[in-house]
Chains A and B, each alone.
Chain A
Amino acid sequence: MTTLLIAEHDNSSLKDATAKALTAAKELGAPVHILVACEGARAVADAAGKLAGVEKVLLADDPAYGHALAEPLAALIVSLADGYDAIVAPSTTAGKNVLPRVAALLDVMQVSDVIKVVSPDTFERPIYAGNAIQTVQSTEAKRLLTIRTASFAAAGEGGSAAIEIVSGAANPGSSRFKGEQVAKSDRPELASAKIVVSGGRALGSAENFAKVIAPVADKLGAAMGASRAAVDAGYAPNDWQVGQTGKIVAPELYIAVGISGAIQHLAGMKDSKVIVAINKDEEAPIFRIADYGLVGDLFEILPQLDRELQATLPEGKS
């Protein structure tokens, strides 16, 4: 049969998470349709149709889906579910919000945070903050999966799928969008960045994040992240949190600055290709998983690193 992938977008652009979840969806071995539910943003559907290997794009263009509220979106997905034997969404906050609701409405158990498709009905997923991997088989009539995007490469472009307009089920009206505070940033998105520089409690203040971490992150074209301790202390915004209950990242390079390396933090970054730890405590657990460790005071090391990177960048870039 067919797989339905729920697109991740912000009403104006398609997010990278969709292309990554598409790779996992294609591994199920069936044709993939992408559902774009949004408000007046055909551009998102066009972008989804260009992804390689997409057979069809379903566009539900209705103000009800403007902010991905779970109640109307789940009703829409359930109304489309008959034609599909797998429904897949990326493990973003939007995907995690809506898909279990769909699962319950379809009376199906969901498999969360798939990191590997072993076969069309068998998946690997991390449990216990990534300290164990579970191989789980779903023989449900429909397989409902959320995909850990850090574990899959983004599908490329080159497709030209047709767009079909679909209309949704009635909005249950139990929820209403009131407002949002979305941080605007020129830096790459944390979950899909190739390089991440993260700070911990040792930074001491939000000002130090801006003064010490930001220049290095900008030189490297990196996203900025933070430990839970740094977020709780108000040094960094909530959505920078890397860890079991924050964002899961797997960049080419992860630089952990002043982060001790609690298991909850490691759960969010230990699949990074190269890990660099900068910490003044040489016993810090982060050094046990770091490829390169530097013991010392971050307030001396980071400015030095910044100068060194400046010196090595090609002229005209700084």
Chain B
Amino acid sequence: MKILVPVKRVLDYNAKPRVKTDGSGVDLSNVKMSMNPFDEIAVEEAVRLKEKGLVTEVVAVSIGDTKAQETLRTALAMGADRAILVTAEEKVEPLGVAKLLAKIIEEEAPALVILGKQAIDEDNNQTGQMLAGLLGWGQATFASKVELSADVVRVTREIDGGLETNSYRLPAIITTDLRLNEPRYASLPNIMKAKSKPLVQKAAADLGVDVAPRLTTLKVFEPAKRAAGVKVANVDELVSKLRSIGIAK
């Protein structure tokens, strides 16, 4: 069984995003970029399933500019077997990404695709669901536990009131939530080994998919800042402040 893991290169989660003064977007020059944290969890889960002997090959895919190779090398160092980079000059929206991934899936025919539940830059939380829709496959979103068998995957999902377990006929789409696993660090020998693993590039334009943006970003701006607050000395003072705004009785 083969697993496909799409990964995205994003602004590192520890970095503070700076909004460009011209309102055109967030400044990504000279900032640390990393693999989207939810995608690390996706790679980890795929590699664990391989280590359990349930999966024969893990293929990492990224869509973006050539720098996304670094992200794919990270996936390879974590244990993915090979990588595919779909090069695109411009930003591709989730619908376009899902269409490109559907093309790759046509060629690769994986039994399972594991994606992150959302990318921490655009915070869309759409790609996995869209991909499942395009392929007509089942979708197990927000997964916190995955039990894979020959033709079915049983997934526990994080839902608003607690947890829900469903089974999905393979092939299927899974999107990862935080609690699914703790991703490993790539060791130095594995980072070295990853350099010789295969990484092929394909141009998005050659896949015959229209990825022109459908939405127009008119402006990106900083949210309103909160007014500075005050420190109170003790609980009495805190409670009287709360009373003064009508909260505590």
A and B held together in a complex: yes
Task: Out of A96, A97, A104, name the residue touching B131 (CB < 8 Å).
Answer: A104
Identify the stretch in A47-55, A129-137, A201-209 within 8 Å (CB) of chain B at 4 or more residues. Answer: A129-137
Total cross-chain contacts (CB, 8 A): 263
Q: Are B247 and A253 in contact (CB under 8 A)?
A: yes
What are 6 A-B contacts with C-beta separation under 8 Å?
A103-B95, A104-B131, A109-B95, A133-B222, A135-B218, A294-B231
Q: Is the C-beta of A183 less than 8 angstroms from some C-beta in chain B?
A: yes
Residues of chain B within 8 A of A309, CB atoms compared: 239, 248
Residues of chain B within 8 A of A62, CB atoms compared: none
Shortest C-beta distance, A114 to chain B (Å), equals 12
Q: Is the C-beta of A26 less than 8 angstroms from some C-beta in chain B?
A: no
Instruction: Name which residue of chain A comes closest to B126, CB basis.
Output: A100
Given contact pairs A104-B130, A177-B166, A127 touches B235 in the complex (Cβ within 8 A): no
Q: Is the C-beta of B52 less than 8 angstroms from some C-beta in chain A?
A: no
Top 4 closest pairs, chain A to chain B, by CB: A174-B138, A104-B133, A100-B129, A104-B130
Q: Is the C-beta of A61 less than 8 angstroms from some C-beta in chain B?
A: no
Q: Is the C-beta of B123 less than 8 angstroms from some C-beta in chain A?
A: yes
Instruction: Name which residue of chain B comes closest to A112, CB basis.
Output: B124
Shortest C-beta distance, A35 to chain B (Å), equals 18
Identify the stretch in A38-46, A63-71, A79-87, A154-162 within 8 Å (CB) of chain B at 4 or more residues. Answer: A63-71
Task: Out of B98, B127, B161, B214, name the residue touching A138 (CB < 8 Å).
Answer: B214
Shortest C-beta distance, B50 to chain A (Å), equals 24
Q: Are A274 and B166 in contact (CB under 8 A)?
A: no
Given contact pairs A71-B139, A274-B245, A239 touches B158 in the complex (Cβ within 8 A): yes
Q: Is the C-beta of B179 less than 8 angstroms from some C-beta in chain A?
A: yes
Q: Are B162 and A132 in contact (CB under 8 A)?
A: no
Instruction: Name which residue of chain A comes closest to B142, CB basis.
Output: A93
Cα–Cα distance between A93 and B160 once the two chains are bound (Å) = 6
Q: Are B238 and A238 in contact (CB under 8 A)?
A: no
Instruction: Name which residue of chain B comes closest to A176, CB basis.
Output: B167
Residues of chain B within 8 A of A275, CB atoms compared: 226, 229
Interface of A is mostly: mixed
Cα–Cα distance between A227 and B162 once the two chains are bound (Å) = 16
Interface of B is mostly: mixed
Q: Is the C-beta of B192 less than 8 angstroms from some C-beta in chain A?
A: no
Q: Are B136 and A172 in contact (CB under 8 A)?
A: yes
Shortest C-beta distance, B178 to chain A (Å), equals 6
Cα–Cα distance between A227 and B169 once the two chains are bound (Å) = 35
Given contact pairs A294-B231, A295-B231, A127 touches B220 in the complex (Cβ within 8 A): yes
Given contact pairs A101-B139, A176-B166, A292-B229, A132 touches B132 in the complex (Cβ within 8 A): no
Cα–Cα distance between A41 and B220 once the two chains are bound (Å) = 43
Residues of chain A within 8 A of B234, CB atoms compared: 294
Q: Are A293 and B232 in contact (CB under 8 A)?
A: yes
Given contact pairs A104-B98, A135-B217, A244-B120, A10 touches B161 in the complex (Cβ within 8 A): yes
| Best-buried of A97, A172, A276, A308 by chain B (most CB within 10 Å) | A97
Q: Are A195 and B247 in contact (CB under 8 A)?
A: yes
Task: Given A270-B223, A274-B242, A294-B231, output 17 extra A-B contacts at Cβ < 8 Å.
Answer: A100-B127, A104-B134, A109-B94, A126-B123, A129-B123, A130-B223, A134-B217, A136-B217, A139-B214, A174-B168, A177-B164, A182-B163, A231-B179, A282-B231, A291-B229, A293-B229, A313-B249
Shortest C-beta distance, A173 to chain B (Å), equals 8
B-contacting residues, A254-305, CB 8 Å: 263-264, 270, 274-276, 282, 287-295, 301, 304-305
Instruction: Name which residue of chain A comes closest to B129, CB basis.
Output: A100
Q: Are A292 and B230 in contact (CB under 8 A)?
A: yes
Residues of chain A within 8 A of B232, CB atoms compared: 292-294
Q: Are A126 and B223 in contact (CB under 8 A)?
A: yes
Residues of chain A within 8 A of B222, CB atoms compared: 131-133
Q: Are A140 and B214 in contact (CB under 8 A)?
A: yes
B-contacting residues, A96-154, CB 8 Å: 96-105, 107-113, 122, 126-140
| Best-buried of B160, B213, B223 by chain A (most CB within 10 Å) | B160
Q: Are A113 and B163 in contact (CB under 8 A)?
A: no
